[in-house]
Chain A
Amino acid sequence: MNFDLTDDQEALRDGIRAVCQGRFTSERVRAGFDRGVWDELAETGVFSLIADGFSWADAAIAFEELGRAVVPGPLVWGVLAHGLVDGIPTGLARPAAGAPAMVEHLAAADAVVILDGDTVRSVAASAVSGALLDWPLDPLTPITRVDTLPEGEPVAGADGAQWNRAGAVLTAAFQAGMAHACVEQATEYSLARRQFDRPIGSFQAIKHLLADALVRAEVARTAVHAAAVTLDDPEVGDVDRAIRGAKLLAGEAALKNAKTSVQVHGGMGFTWEVDAHLYLKRAWLTNTAFGTPDACADALAASLG
């Protein structure tokens, strides 16, 4: 047992972090997702990690870094559909009968993959029509409201149960990265911002908010790593339990830490200019995918009887 990043995993983490810091600056991220972003990410190999022989733990480490930079795009679907669907995929779980489908990044995508329970179907993006929201919650995630989602064709070779598990792990990893970034950004601001003749980060009221955020982020990150390792090697634990725990804790950490960041930034945290809202809005979005925190908690309790 050595439950720490290997040297290769540290190198992978540092590599993806360097790519994000170099190319996915706040300015670039705010320009949104397009084919250029997709191509640059594809070039780093982040979508083909599993096909290239890397583990889910490796993929989780990479997605933490994408989350840190709050990179926009249907990134999780890029990994899941790699090699099975041509072009840029977006995706979603099929909504309940009668409910509209809120499809992310439809205009930039070539295909829409639909998780129907454990069945994976796909339809050409051009065959999906709906109304593009003019005021989407997350400005970096364009949303099309689709009243009638086509049935789609089954995707050969796609294991839907595995997609659900891996999608939850990658989403949780992205969220854990967001949670850490929020701690760092709020900490930096609390050192720079002075009130009452001292940095606001010297007040225990602020320090304790940030300490709690740090604990949430690190505990969530550990849960994500445990879930990813268990997905790679199911004999070391209960894979569904580990994944639900990770998705719950990472989703909660991303949301609470983004709110902490807004709060610590004070009035500036309520502005469009500061990035805090981008993390908060993405936290809300990602919490609806691959198991909400509440659904995960309910399932965990049910598993104990």
Chain B
Amino acid sequence: MDLRYSPSDEAFRAELQAWLAATLPTLPPEPPRDDWPARVVYDTDWQKRLFDAGYAGMSWPKEYGGRDAPPSEQLIFLEECSNAKAPYVGVNFVGTLHAGPTIIAEGTPEQKAKHIPKILRGDEVWCQCFSEPDAGSDLAALQTRAVRDGDDYVVTGRKIWCSFGQVGEYGELLARTDPDVPKHKGISWFILPMDLPGIEIRPIETILGSSEFCEVFLDEVRVPAEQMVGQENDGWRVTNVTLSFERGTAFVSEMVDAMRMAEELAPLVHDPADRRELGHVIAEFDALWALTKRNVSNSATKGDTGLGGMIMKLAYSEARDHLCELSMRALERGAFDVHEPYVEERLRTLSLTIAAGTSQIQRNILSERVLGLPRERQWPAE
């Protein structure tokens, strides 16, 4: 076990730090949270700067314009960007972290040529159309139908929790192409141009009073068949291939932010019981940072983050919740103003133990796949 970075890792870190120090002061001011057109300009401008400097697509293969960097450099990249308070991935999230890697792994040459360079340069914004009102934790139960008709699929249904739905030019769409087979085996993955006739987008007002997510209504939308990624009815597998691009780094940016928050919060925490809890939170984040290094190491040497990768989401989101609750106690009545540092963060963090697999679903997965415990007995279908 070794926690020392190699000389080439350290050289990469130094070069990146110098670039960040030179670049960040030249950025325009960050736009307001709900000004989506301005956010697109700001976030995609950052993506273009990363691309021009050779830092876009850290984990992407070189033939697709990526850097093909080792996982340790991907970790350093995210760590240093967060330390320097560089812009977050923002509206580039779905394209660079999910749709792009999916198309690289499963797309046709035409699909790759059309989308990959644009995603990497920040010229194309994507949104996600996976969840449905009746398919949340049980995503594979999704009911949006895609029926083949000539050269098109005719898509009808309703999607919810579509991140960046207001601004996405393309959506990654999961739809049911065969209703007569077990639920995981009748789903296909489509590139959905969001300007097709029959698509209606409505923002959802969240607990923050803001609009990170949308609902998307699809009414007989004709999606050309060549927009399918992978084979018909193989969409469930296709949507899981992107995990290999993460390489143990999924929560690095957020974790660096959380550790900074804990340090900034320290002088505000006076009650002895709260001080003790702060110490506890620090221990948790230090351990999760070490676990991140373990996962990145395993990704590099074994190609798989293993148990560490499986526990990270649950452990990180619960630790962050712990930290945020502590911040509310420290602020006392100062927390009545959402503009106070950390109050907005408290609200936002409520989503972390829900999105992308609730903590309860995570515990089911761990107990079944790691501990080998049986699934609960099925209810008969209604």
Contacts and interface: CB of A to CB of B under 8 A. Distances in A.
Interface of A: 1-6, 9, 57, 183, 187, 190-191, 198-199, 201-204, 206-208, 210-212, 214-215, 218-220, 222-223, 225-226, 228-230, 233, 235-237, 241-242, 244-246, 248-249, 294, 296-302, 304-305
Contacts, number: 181
A219 B288 contact: yes
B367 A297 contact: no
A202 B275 contact: no
Given A226-B290, A226-B293, A302-B275, 20 more contacts: A3-B3, A4-B301, A57-B1, A187-B371, A202-B374, A202-B376, A202-B377, A207-B363, A208-B363, A225-B1, A226-B286, A230-B3, A235-B4, A241-B286, A249-B283, A297-B276, A297-B278, A300-B279, A301-B266, A304-B278
B362 A211 contact: yes
A96 B373 CA distance: 48
Which of under 10, 10 to 19, 20 to 34, or 35 or more describes the interface residues of B? 35 or more
Given A223-B290, A236-B3, A301-B278, A208 B360 contact: yes
A218 B308 contact: yes
A31 to B, nearest CB: 31
Given A297-B279, A298-B276, A304 B374 contact: no
A5 B1 CA distance: 5
Contacts of A245: 282-283, 286-287
B3 A214 contact: no
Contact of B287 (A212, A222, A298): A222
Contact of B276 (A3, A9, A212, A301): A301
Contacts of A299: 279
A257 to B, nearest CB: 13
A220 B280 CA distance: 12
The 10 closest A-B pairs by CB, nearest first: A297-B279, A300-B279, A245-B283, A207-B367, A226-B290, A211-B363, A304-B266, A223-B287, A301-B279, A236-B3
Contacts of A199: 373-374
B368 A1 contact: no
B364 interface: yes
B284 interface: yes
Nearest to B282: A300
A301 B275 contact: yes
Contacts of B314: 211, 215
14 contacts: A1-B3, A3-B293, A187-B371, A199-B373, A202-B377, A215-B315, A219-B311, A223-B290, A225-B290, A226-B3, A242-B286, A297-B279, A301-B269, A301-B278
A183 to B, nearest CB: 7
Nearest to B277: A297
Contacts of A201: 367, 371, 373-374
Given A198-B377, A214-B366, A297 B280 contact: yes
A143 B283 CA distance: 31
Interface in B2-60: 2-6, 9
B377 A1 contact: no
Given A218-B307, A225-B290, A297-B277, A207 B373 contact: yes
B318 to A, nearest CB: 8
B67 to A, nearest CB: 18
A249 B363 CA distance: 20
Contact of B367 (A3, A210, A229, A244): A210
A61 B266 CA distance: 33
Contacts of B360: 204, 208
B113 to A, nearest CB: 36
A222 B291 contact: yes
